[in-house]
């Protein structure tokens, strides 16, 4: 949750948490053993909205970064995205901006949505390639009377999608 704004100033929005990261050790030509529907990476949680204060308009809090796993051929590169939202394609939604309620009191901004878990399996074999992706969470509602807005929802888990080389579609 965000802090309550002091008189004449805006309370700081709290950052979201980073998502988990998963380390896989695939054996050559055995990436296809991963099961469709398996959740491998969890999305981060949304940050709380900033508290309202003074006459400034307070924006939403930052969304949580999703965990990222990238597999290249038979080697593994793992990247950790921090608490700042918007760094991955599964980023969370923006929090609601706080409005000026009564001239002197500004409503707190809503928290940003959590980033979705994102995994790309850049691995090609006789069985095709796979990818994992998830949507981000939604933004939180604005606070009232100078209080910080609610935190945004958490991002989704990364789920494997299989690429069907015959139909050329992800499934």
Among 63, 83, 49, which residue's Cα sits nearest to residue 155? 63
Confidence (pTM): 0.41
Burial class of residue 102 in the structure, from the number of CB atoms within 10 Å of its CB (0-12 exposed, 13-18 middle, 19+ buried)? exposed
What is the predicted pLDDT for the residue at 164? 56
Delimit the domains of the chain by residue range: 12-19+36-171
Dihedral Cα 32, 36, 39, 44, nearest 10 deg: 100
What is the predicted pLDDT for the residue at 136? 54
Which tens digits make up the pLDDT trace of 77-134?
333 333 333 233 344 455 555 555 555 555 556 655 555 554 444 444 434 444 444 5
Cα–Cα distance, 148 to 142 (Å, whole number): 7
Average pLDDT for residues 46-72, to the nearest whole number?
49
Average pLDDT for residues 129-157, to the nearest whole number?
56
Average pLDDT for residues 51-64, to the nearest whole number?
49
User: For a pLDDT cut of 90, what percent of the chain falls above it?
Assistant: 0
């Amino acid at each position: 949750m965000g802090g309550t704004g002091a008189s004449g100033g805006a309370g700081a929005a709290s950052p979201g948490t980073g998502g988990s990261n998963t380390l896989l050790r695939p054996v050559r030509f055995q990436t296809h053993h991963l099961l469709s529907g398996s959740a491998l990476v969890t999305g981060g949680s949304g940050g709380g909205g900033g508290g309202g204060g003074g006459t400034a308009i307070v924006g939403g809090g930052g969304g949580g970064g999703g965990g990222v796993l990238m597999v290249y051929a038979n080697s593994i590169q793992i990247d950790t995205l921090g608490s700042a939202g918007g760094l991955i394609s599964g980023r969370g939604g923006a929090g609601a901006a706080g409005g000026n309620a009564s001239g002197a009191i500004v409503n707190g901004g809503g928290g940003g949505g959590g980033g979705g878990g994102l995994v790309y399996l850049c691995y090609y074999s006789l069985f095709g390639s796979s990818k994992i992706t998830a949507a981000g969470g939604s933004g939180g509602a604005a606070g009232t009377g100078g209080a910080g807005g609610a935190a945004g929802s958490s991002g989704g888990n990364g789920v494997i999608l299989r690429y069907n080389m015959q139909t050329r579609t992800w499934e």
